[in-house]
Amino acid sequence: MSMEYKDYYETLGVDRKSNDDEIKKAYRKLALQYHPDRNPDDKGAEEKFKEINEAYQVLSDSENRQRYDQLGASYNNYQQRGGTPGGFNWDDWASRGAQSGGGVRVEVGDLEGLFGGGFSEFFNNIFGGAQDMGTPSTMRSTTRGRVPRPSYQYKTDISLREAFQGTTRRVEVDGRQLDVKIPPGARSGTKVRVSGALPAGPDGQGGDLYLVITVLDDPIYERKGNNLHTDAEIDLYTAILGGDVNVQTLGGSVKLTVPPGTQPGQKFRLKGRGMPHLKNPKNYGDLYVRADVEIPRKLTAEQKDLFQQLTNTG
């Protein structure tokens, strides 16, 4: 196997000793800069956004980061001994997850929809396959003496947008492919049960598979329950005089009317523009928009004169 080593620390612009908060801060800053909603039709920004998210998937997870750091140390030692990239034994680090877990796996290809495109070959080989099938657990038995059926848990990540719309993950069980629906409104810790998905046990009944959901942090929206919080850039003149501002929501763009004299940091509520309720997806939380008032860095002579007049009359 021959492939290129990915330096995720360099991608996020952080030191290898950076803590979780520093990594998250760097990720949010870059993700906001290169987010597709802010860079429409910009393929370069889209690719950069994918690289940023891939790096964050590894460095934000303690187990993935530990494995990556061990690989990095081994790879650096190999280079220092004069080795070339084509000669490094990647097979020692390739994911072995698909070889365990009772014949149940989630295909890496089906995780590629997280951010509008696939992960790199490096990520797929090092962290792909069935990453965490968990350990067998026993279902409750309502009849004394019944042989308990096994169940397995698999941890899978989805984006906030997927949690808003609902999504699917393709699971391969004993040679069969199942499309598991993840309902709108899912949050971290939500379990999606696939009844009878596992091969039949001693009682002739198939065990259950559980997908344990983690909703990834979003660079634009902060989720609190079913409510979302975001910032909206408002120019100084609109803040002073009032007017309409376009606000991006997960359901599309809407107009927010801001009153004259809007203050920096002032919050506005957009009812029903938050996340759907998991048990009642027709009901939605709210979106709270915080005014980010832009102060112009350069003013014309006429603008400076007008502001000076305001100062004198104030």
Q: What confidence score (pLDDT) does residue 170 get?
A: 83
Where does a domain end: 192, 217, 242? 217
CA distance 77 to 28: 32
Q: Does 11 reside within a domain?
A: yes
Residues 106 and 84 in one domain: no
Per-residue pLDDT of the chain (314 residues; tens, 9 = 90+): 567 889 999 999 999 999 999 998 898 888 888 877 778 788 888 888 888 888 988 898 888 899 899 988 888 887 777 776 667 777 777 754 333 334 444 443 333 444 444 578 788 777 754 333 333 333 333 333 444 455 677 788 899 999 999 999 887 776 778 888 999 999 999 988 888 777 665 556 667 888 889 999 898 999 999 999 999 999 988 999 999 999 999 999 999 999 999 999 999 999 999 999 998 989 999 999 999 998 877 778 887 777 777 777 65
Would you state the pLDDT for residue 150?
57
Instruction: For residue 226, give its domain range.
Output: 222-296
Considering the domain architecture, whether residues 119 and 212 belong to the same structural domain is answered as: yes
CA 242 to chain centre: 35
pLDDT given for residue 242 in this prediction: 94
Q: From residue 108, give the alpha-carbon distance in Å to each of 80, 133, 158, 194.
A: 33, 14, 13, 19
CA distance 256 to 246: 6
Q: What is the CATH number of the domain that holds 18?
A: 1.10.287.110
Asked whether residue 240 falls in the same domain as residue 169, the answer is no
What is the predicted pLDDT for the residue at 62? 87
Is residue 311 in a domain? no
Tokens of 92: 């020692």
Q: What is the pLDDT, as a whole number, of residue 244?
A: 95
C-alpha–C-alpha distance, residues 63 and 272, integer Å = 37
Q: Indicate if 163 and 252 belong to the same structural domain.
A: no
As for how many domains the chain has, the answer is: 3
Q: Is 103 helix (H, G, I), strand (E, B) or coil?
A: coil
Q: Identify whether residues 61 and 81 lie together within a single domain.
A: yes
- Per DSSP, 101 falls in state S
Bridge partners for 229 per DSSP: 222, 288
The domain that holds 199 is classified in CATH as: 2.60.260.20
Residue 306 lies in a domain: no
Give yes or no: residues 157 and 174 share one domain: yes
